[in-house]
Chain A
Amino acid sequence: MAVPANVPELALQHLDALYNFAVHLSRNRSDADDLVQETYLRAFRFAHQFEPGTNLRAWLFQILMNTFRTFYRHRAREPVILDQEWPETPLAAAETLKEWEVTAGASLAGVDLEKALAGLSSDFRSVLLLADVEGFRLDEIAGVMDCPVGTVKSRLFRARHLLREALRDYGRVG
């Protein structure tokens, strides 16, 4: 297959999104710089492996995620999530969720949201960012995170539950 010579230019269109993802993923700008640099180096190096017509943005996020897993998470010694078919922890009471839903919409501050998100494991941060911030489809998220769609859904469910709990700790809810 011919090498898509315009991959570098097209890839650069996603720089801000990749950097934003990298900052939230690595939780500091210095590591995000390195992470994004390595992502683009890999993208340029392996541009011949990109299949024209497929989702370049998802491919770049996948490279970034792999780079993070290969090195940064290993360095940070983050705990590995044990995926479950479905979370065993029961949902918060409906009343609590309702209260959260009503309160959060009006009073949730971005800085609290960022802090609460940073407290989650990288897999939970990733799945929330990919789904709710970047708007990837579930199958695209599965590709980026190298896991089945069912695992993506399970992680989303658990991540949202944990994020709500964390936000409650910030005094915004309940």
Chain B
Amino acid sequence: MECREAQDALEEYRRETLSDRAGAAIRAHLVQCDRCRTLHEADTTLGAALRLKLPRHAAPAALRRQILRGARRGRRRFALSNPWVSAAVAAGLTLVLVLPFLLRGRPDPLQALAAEVISEHVRSVLAEETEGSGENYKGVVQRLRAKTGVTLRWFYPGDPEIKLVYARPVLVLGKKGLGLLYQDQSGRMATYLVFPGEEVKVPATGRVKVADFNPYAGKADGYSLLLWKQEGLNCVLISDWDRDRFLQLFLNIRRAAGPSL
């Protein structure tokens, strides 16, 4: 047996997953080859050191609690087909998938922006830190406005077909913003994020014409995304709704004239 052949099988030899015959061949080679034997012993020592001496980090209690809450919500979703967590997670995944693609080739601040949006979204979903739990979303958004300083003059409060079910503050690149969740009659969700900052540039290509507007449109993992600027704020809308309903929500948001906040 040549050294190269023996070294290629040393990993399986250490794991005792070779056949008896192959294992015997390796043993025989190690007896007569000082180089391979030494390599085998060094790798075995290193593996033991990693297993026994490398510091192990236990999950912090706060993280464990957050995950437990997520698990309970996940279990409810499995049992009751509750769309809240599903849609929120879908929104987070969409951002994970879409924003890096969307911002590919852009300067680092945009990637950092995507990171913070995603992290903020995930944290708030797991922590159940929602402020919109009742029907008075005008009051909720007014409170969020006071907290974040973001003025939603185009605030769309929903209608009989599309309900606003969720509102929360977000923190993006150190700037406060708003996250709103809309639900259609079938229970599916769309997330609308608004945040300030000049770092996000809407790509010049990939735009779609929607009535008088021209947002950027992207698609990933079955979800649609629209990105646009409005009165100096960055606006993102994401959902797995069908195209017509999705664009209708965009128009509802874009054309909303009230409530006045």
Which residues from chain A sit less than 8 Å from chain B, CB to CB?
A: 3, 5, 7-9, 11-12, 15-16, 18-20, 23-24, 29, 32-34, 36-38, 40-42, 44-45, 47, 67, 70-71, 74-75, 86, 91, 94, 97-98, 100-101, 104-105, 108-111, 113-114, 117, 128-129, 131-133, 135, 137-138, 153, 156-157, 160, 163-164
12 contacts between A and B (CB under 8 A): A40-B70, A41-B70, A44-B74, A45-B74, A94-B38, A97-B38, A97-B42, A104-B45, A113-B49, A137-B17, A156-B11, A157-B11
Q: For chain B, give the interface size range.
A: 35 or more
**A132 / chain B contacts, CB cutoff of 8 Å:** 46-47, 50-51
Number of inter-chain CB pairs below 8 Å: 174
Whether B55 lies near A114 (C-beta < 8 A) is yes
Whether B54 lies near A113 (C-beta < 8 A) is yes
Bound CA–CA A12/B255 (angstroms): 45
Whether A164 lies near B42 (C-beta < 8 A) is yes
Beyond A37-B63, A37-B126, A44-B74, 14 extra complex contacts between A and B, CB < 8 Å:
A5-B78, A7-B78, A8-B71, A24-B57, A37-B66, A41-B125, A71-B96, A71-B115, A97-B42, A100-B45, A110-B54, A113-B49, A114-B55, A153-B8
Chain B nearest CB from A49 CB (Å) reads 13
Nearest opposing residue in chain B for A114, CB measure: B55
| B123 CB-CB contact with A under 8 Å | yes
**A135 / chain B contacts, CB cutoff of 8 Å:** 51
CB-contact partner of B58 in A8, A16, A97, A133, under 8 A: A16
Known: A101-B38, A138-B12, A163-B46. A36 touches B59 (CB 8 A): yes
Nearest opposing residue in chain B for A139, CB measure: B17
Residue from A45, A131, A135 with most neighbouring chain B CB atoms (10 Å): A45
| B112 CB-CB contact with A under 8 Å | yes
Chain B nearest CB from A17 CB (Å) reads 9
Residue from B15, B41, B74, B114 with most neighbouring chain A CB atoms (10 Å): B74
Chain A nearest CB from B32 CB (Å) reads 13
| B243 CB-CB contact with A under 8 Å | no
Chain B nearest CB from A159 CB (Å) reads 10
Bound CA–CA A36/B59 (angstroms): 9
Bound CA–CA A47/B75 (angstroms): 10
Bound CA–CA A19/B60 (angstroms): 9
**Chain B 75-96 interface mask (CB, 8 Å, partner A; 1/0):** 1011100000110011011001
Bound CA–CA A9/B70 (angstroms): 11
